Amino acid sequence: MKILLISLLSFFMGTAKINTAGNNQGGWKMLFDGKTTKGWHTYGKDAVNDRWKVADGTLYIDNTIKDGGDIVTDGEYDNFDLKLEWKISKNGNSGIIFNVHEDPTKYDETYKTGPEVQVLDNEGHPDGKILKHRAGDLYDLIKSSSEPVKAPGEWNAVEIISNKGKLQIFVNSVNVVTTTMWDDNWKQLIAGSKFKNMPDFGTFKKGRIALQDHGNAVWYRNIKIKQL
């Protein structure tokens, strides 16, 4: 009996941080069930490519497989509260992209339409030396007000709230970016960024959520969304 209790305790402690609860609890919908890639597909494809795998309640990139690409939700969302956790490999780079308009005949990449919350090893990846390219930044648009991000291999909690144009980004419960989308200031931010020659970037008010394959190992878990 004692051995059984110890085994059960170890099991629950080891899985306590993995939330694979059902959909629509308190208005939240799980976008990742912790077991399969159901609800996702590779951008412009019908299914998820083999590079993205599931293990131990996480959705991750298997770098031993060469052919990959960003994956996106089957559903489209506007006015949402998105929560998820990520951890990055040493020297790694990835991103969380939203309001992605999926039209591969017109836009060959998710970032051609959707703004990105950066996922990065700040100290190990070259992007860490570039302004507005560090973890938690609204990539190439707005620098995060602080950097509560943890080291590579450690989990970070991210929350993205987009509601009627107001955008808020939280990293480990700290509000690091607040801005308004689609107004004149937003247009000026884009005009001063690397996206200035992408006429439809940041213009869509509804779209898919994307997880970026930037060529490095990255893990995501506890991905859920609430419509506002």
pTM over 0.85: yes
The CATH superfamily holding the domain 29-227 is: Exo-inulinase; domain 1 (2.60.120.560)
- Residue 10's pLDDT is 38
Would you give per-residue pLDDT tens digits along the chain (228 residues)?
Answer: 444 333 333 333 343 455 544 456 789 999 999 999 999 999 999 999 999 999 999 999 999 999 899 999 999 999 999 999 999 999 999 999 999 999 999 999 999 999 999 999 999 999 999 999 999 999 999 999 999 999 999 999 999 999 999 999 999 999 999 999 999 999 999 999 999 999 999 999 999 999 999 999 999 999 999 999
- Residue 24's pLDDT is 65
CB 118 within 8 A of CB 136: yes
**HEC sequence for the chain:** CHHHHHHHHHHHHHHCCCCCCCCCECCEEECCCCCCCCCEEECCCCCCCCCEEEECCEEEECCCCCCCCCEEECCCECCEEEEEEEEECCCCEEEEEEEECCCCCCCCCHHHCCCEEEEECCCCCHHHHCCCCCCCCECCCECCCCCCCCCCCCCEEEEEEEECCEEEEEECCEEEEEEECCCHHHHHHHHCCCCCCCCCCCCCCCEEEEECCCCCCEEEEEEEEEEC
- Residue 5's pLDDT is 37
